[in-house]
Amino acid sequence: MEALWVFLPVLGAYLAHAPVLTHNLWPGFARPIDAGATWRGRRLLGANKTWRGLVVMFAGVVAVALLLSFLPAYWERVPDDIQKAGRGWFALLLGLGFAVAELPNSFLKRQLDINPGTRVLSPLGIGFVVLDQCDFVFGIWLALTPIWVMSLTQAAWALGAATAVHMVINVIGYAIGARTTWI
């Protein structure tokens, strides 16, 4: 399925972010995006959504997308519309869609009093756990729209694959100390 090839560079976000978290690289940029701002007495995004994370994850996706795009075995598998738009647009839009996609989810959780990094064992909490694993699919779907329109079937495949792969990445991140929870 060609949509899965489109999402492959997303792994670059995790490859870039894990060492940054593990070794606390660039601590000066680990400032909350919301700068502590609140709405209805609750943080907009919380302390875990930082400028460092946003930039590093964006850069990781862009770098891997660009590198992969020079491999014919990869580039020939992405949709023709993306190939016509070019490597640069693809990489930038993919990175943007990935990096920004987590913000609405964080906003909703803060407004529902779900603390950053915590899990709530309720139907709503479980829904957020699942959404946390694949929220970037919606952001990428929207961001790539100017150059490629993903079908509902392709989106369903991407959501399923993203959820499964993200769960595995979470376990690995927990095992190496980059995460405090395994889900």
Residue 52: per-residue pLDDT: 98
Instruction: Look up residue 27 and give its DSSP letter.
Output: G
pLDDT 10s digits, 59-106 = 999 999 999 999 999 999 999 999 999 999 999 999 999 999 989 989
What is the pTM (predicted TM-score) of this model?
Answer: 0.89
Q: Amino acid identity, residue 3?
A: A
In order of 20, 35, 51, 52, 80, the CA distances from 56 in angstroms are 8, 18, 8, 6, 28
Residue 69: per-residue pLDDT: 98
H-only helix segments in the chain: 2-7, 11-22, 51-69, 72-75, 80-85, 87-111, 123-143, 152-175
Ranking 28-37, 127-136, 143-152 by mean pLDDT, the lowest is 127-136
CA angle 157, 167, 71 (to 5 degrees): 60
- Give the mean model confidence (pLDDT) for residues 7-19: 94
d(CA 49, CA 46): 6
Say if residue 134's pLDDT is above 90: no
- Give the mean model confidence (pLDDT) for residues 151-174: 87
Domain boundaries, the chain: 2-175
Higher pLDDT, 22 or 78: 78
Give the pLDDT band of residue 183 (cuts 50, 70, 90). low
- Give the mean model confidence (pLDDT) for residues 99-123: 84
Residue 165: per-residue pLDDT: 83
Say if residue 163's pLDDT is above 90: no
Enumerate the β-bridge partners of residue 38: 43
Residue 116: per-residue pLDDT: 73
The percentage of the chain sitting over the pLDDT mark of 70, rounded to a whole number, equals: 97
Mean pLDDT score of the chain, rounded to an integer?
91
Residue 104: per-residue pLDDT: 93
